Amino acid sequence: MKKIIFTIALMLVSCVMVNAATATTTSTSTTNWDSAAALNRVNTIGNKIVKANGIGQTITFKVSNEADVNAYANINKEVYVYRGLLEYVTNDDELAGVISHELGHILNGHCAKQGVLNTGVNILANATARVTGNTLAAGVGQQLATSKLSRKDEFEADITGVDLMTKAGYNPLAMISVLNKICGNYIDI
């Protein structure tokens, strides 16, 4: 029942992080950025989630001094959290929601699948552009091929993230709260 409620709630905020390119940008500038403290905070939360869920993979957590409100996971099993996001979240539960979402991408194989898909689509798009001379159509084809997969993967990462953060003792409602904020709906739950 809990999964159904979270699924419905997450569907209502389906404007969630479709990909890194759609992330919100913050205009705040910080003169006292402490990357060591930020990295410690991200590592503490990330490692708590990994340990509580018995994740046997080595995951590396990193912070970046970027103003964007963003985080991402990559094929090297690294989770990057930007300074802008760290300034944006209001508590550790919200940060745990974002980190859990990114871990969901790693655990569900989205990063690896996206890398393979992008390589294949790029080869096909380049070949199509050479044969037809139409680079615009090839580019549109690339976007269409990857966007549907991205939405499905984002939703799957959200559901996995809720499970991960709950098992680690974080409030899963915080994921809904942070996703609402990122979408521009400032509803704290």
Stretch 46-57: mean pLDDT: 96
- 72-99 pLDDT, tens digit per residue, is 998 899 999 999 999 999 999 999 999 9
Task: Yes or no: say if 16 and 151 are a contact pair by the CB < 8 Å rule.
Answer: no
Q: How confident is the model at residue 184 (pLDDT cuts 50, 70, 90)?
A: confident
Task: Yes or no: say if 47 and 40 are a contact pair by the CB < 8 Å rule.
Answer: no
Q: Which of 182, 167, 146 is nearest to 15 (CA)?
A: 182
Number of H helices and E strands in the chain, helices first, is 7, 3
Residues in the chain: 189
Stretch 19-38: mean pLDDT: 51
Stretch 96-122: mean pLDDT: 79
Element (H, E) at 62: strand 60-64
Tell me the two tokens of residue 18.
């479709």
The whole model's pTM is what? 0.70
